[in-house]
Amino acid sequence: MFQVRNRGRLRITGFTLVELLVVIAIIGILIGLLLPAVQAVREAARRMQCSNNLKQMGIALHNYNTAHKVFPAGTRSHAGSQWVWGHAWGVAILPFIEQTALYEKFDKVGTGSRHSGLMHTGLIYAGMNEENGRLLSGVGIPAMFCPSSPLPRFVLRGSVPPGPVGAASPMYTAITGAIDDPTAINKDSQTHLHRARGIQSQGGILLPRRHLSFQDIQDGSTHTILLGEQSDYCVTPTGTQRDCRSDYGHSFAMGTTPSDAIDDRWFNTTTVRYPVNHKDWNSTGVGEQYYACNRPIQSAHPGGAQVLMGDASVTFLNESIALKTWFNLCNRDDGNPIEGL
Amino acid sequence: MKEIKVGSSAVGLFGWCTALGFCVLVVGCSGGDVGHVSGRVAVGGKPVTKGAIVFENPQAGISVNAELADDGTYTVRSHQREGLPPGTYQVAVRPTAFGGEEAPLVTDPNAQPSVAKSDIPEKYQSVATSGLTATVKKGDNPPFDFDLKP
């Protein structure tokens, strides 16, 4: 500031334009420095909540194990039925994530209709469970949503149950194993009379139609993955975003059929085939026209994705993790327990 | 006068630094360690107009599909890169186009899903049986043309 002596009186004349511009520029630069930091902190907080959700489900799966002596099936059908779509692990853990009322009301045996997990009536298909559709309409189960995710929280929106609000679609999926497990079945080829495209493996813990206990996890529960994140879009070569979660737009409740050679689709589970954070829609078993078995574990967090281990701990896996290590973590009985993650 | 000169040279220096930094950034981001892959698929000399070609390398966790154009040509790319990392790939040709919306759940339990009719012999439809390979080098590659025996 200038102090000008004018006719003997001291007077403050104010700032010049250049001074003001300099000050504004400095403030601008400082804000510019600060903003990315603030965004990073916000994402870190969201990631923490995302990881806490996984932890909640880990505790729920362990409480299920304590109550039933086994883990829930990753995806299941009802016993004894000919051709029905059952429900998935997300329904089995409801009583253990403060959703007992919902679990009690959920029709798990397909009374009055043939299916339990299949509930929308948008397709010409007999025996869909409209009651379950109405029950789950608009019910948001907080633990199933990752706040970092840009994906829609509700799917199956339509005029039929579950209605215009839809049913919850989880941002976490069960891992049935990795493709290098001896149980892996190659169904890539279109010549197979099978609707599933990709490779299906049963080397994990949350398997289709099977309940495993701790003693089945030979590599140790600390070294085997239960659930993984699917919280971002996949991208086509032209840059179009596609929802590539393993519920295939059928909500967290959708399960599988009794074992069937033609249409063995395991909803809400995936077989790990690609690196962590792989988002290429045009990969085999990812963006398939029919059911795709190998939807990747990927997240909206920079640099990797979170997984839930068998001991209910949550680990952030870097996307540069070696493919072999990643596969070993997904298989429970490969004899390669991975230490020090 | 002297002060103005100093100011302008400072601006000039800042400008040059910015330009240099930008150049480094652009050079750093372009290129990458990929090989460009394109070519043409035919059966007995006749171009395959419908379907997709698969390049698979299980060790690297890659199984990329590229759709065939009306003249049987294709270019392999993903959303991140224009091509494939160098290496040897197993190749197969799929008769139906890749992608699209999720097919509806089966309506009739006893119905068999229809298998698309195609000129592509069955053995070429799976990487396990096709016997086709492609060795991709970094940068530009000669076209990977596959003329399948009918």
Q: What is the 3-state secondary structure (H, E, C) of chain A?
A: CCEEEECCEEEECCCCHHHHHHHHHHHHHHHHHHHHHHHHHHHHHHHHHHHHHHHHHHHHHHHHHHHHCCCCCCECCCCCCCCCCCEEHHHHCHHHHCCHHHHHHCCCCCCCCCCCCCCCCCCCCCCCCHHHHHHHCCCCCHHHCCCCCCCCCEECCCCCCCCCCCEECCCEEEEEEECCCCCCEECCCCCCCCCCECEECCCCCCEECECCCHHHCCCCHHHCEEEEEECCEEECCCCCEEECCCCCCCCCCECCCCCCCCCCCCCCEEEECCCCCCCECCECCCCCCCCECCCCCECCCCCEEEEEECCCCEEEEECCCCHHHHHHHHCCCCCCCCCCC
Note whether B106 contacts A288, CB cutoff 8 Å.
Answer: no
Residue A104, number of CB atoms within 10 A of its CB: 10
What is the pLDDT, as a whole number, of residue A113?
66
The top-scoring range by mean pLDDT among A159-163, A266-270, B49-53 is: A266-270
8 Å CB contact between A78 and A85: no
Query: A159: buried, middle or exposed (CB in 10 Å: 19+, 13-18, 0-12)?
Result: exposed
Chain A CB contacts of B50 under 8 Å are: none
Which of A118, A188, A190 to mutate against chain B (most B CBs within 10 Å)?
Answer: A190
Chain A CB contacts of B93 under 8 Å are: none
Give the residue-averaged pLDDT of B55-84.
91
What is the pLDDT, as a whole number, of residue A35?
87
Note whether B61 contacts A236, CB cutoff 8 Å.
Answer: no
What is the pLDDT, as a whole number, of residue A190?
62
**Quick one: closest CA in A to B111, which residue?**
A262
CA distance A185 to A259: 14
Two tokens, residue A175: 């891992």
CA distance B104 to B125: 24
A110 versus B24: the higher-pLDDT residue is A110
Tens digit of each residue's pLDDT (9 = 90 or more) over A109-155:
887 667 888 877 555 455 678 888 889 999 999 999 999 999 999 98
pLDDT band at A304 (very low <50, low <70, confident <90, very high): very high
CA distance A45 to A41: 6
Note whether B113 contacts A248, CB cutoff 8 Å.
Answer: no
Note whether A191 contacts B102, CB cutoff 8 Å.
Answer: no
- Per-residue pLDDT at A313 exceeds 90: yes
Chain B CB contacts of A275 under 8 Å are: 61
8 Å CB contact between A90 and A268: yes
A143 min Cα distance to partner chain B (Å)? 26
The top-scoring range by mean pLDDT among A74-83, A229-238, A287-296 is: A229-238
What is the pLDDT, as a whole number, of residue B102?
58
Quote the percentage of chain A above a pLDDT of 70.
89
Note whether B113 contacts A285, CB cutoff 8 Å.
Answer: no
What is the pLDDT, as a whole number, of residue A126?
59
Quote the percentage of chain B above a pLDDT of 70.
65
What is the pLDDT, as a whole number, of residue A116?
86
pLDDT band at B9 (very low <50, low <70, confident <90, very high): very low
Give the residue-averaged pLDDT of A272-289.
92
Tens digit of each residue's pLDDT (9 = 90 or more) over A57-87:
999 999 999 999 999 999 998 765 566 788 9
What is the pLDDT, as a whole number, of residue B23?
43
- Per-residue pLDDT at A185 exceeds 70: yes
- Per-residue pLDDT at B16 exceeds 70: no
Tens digit of each residue's pLDDT (9 = 90 or more) over B94-148:
887 666 555 555 444 445 555 556 788 888 988 888 999 999 999 999 999 999 9
Chain A CB contacts of B79 under 8 Å are: 235-239, 279-281
pLDDT band at A335 (very low <50, low <70, confident <90, very high): confident
What is the pLDDT, as a whole number, of residue B10?
45
**Quick one: closest CA in A to B103, which residue?**
A290
Tens digit of each residue's pLDDT (9 = 90 or more) over A12-71:
678 899 999 999 999 999 999 988 888 889 999 999 999 999 999 999 999 999 999 999
- Per-residue pLDDT at A287 exceeds 70: yes
- A50-54, A73-77, A318-322, B23-27: the lowest-pLDDT one: B23-27
Chain A CB contacts of B128 under 8 Å are: 186, 189
- Per-residue pLDDT at B6 exceeds 60: no
pLDDT mean across residues, chain B? 76
B27 min Cα distance to partner chain A (Å)? 22
Closest residue to B61, CB basis, from A85, A262, A323 = A323
Q: Where in chain A are the domains?
A: 40-330
What is the pLDDT, as a whole number, of residue B103?
57
What is the pLDDT, as a whole number, of residue B99?
62
Tens digit of each residue's pLDDT (9 = 90 or more) over A192-203:
667 778 899 999
Chain A CB contacts of B122 under 8 Å are: 191
Residue of A294, A98, A36 lying closest to A178 (CA atoms): A294
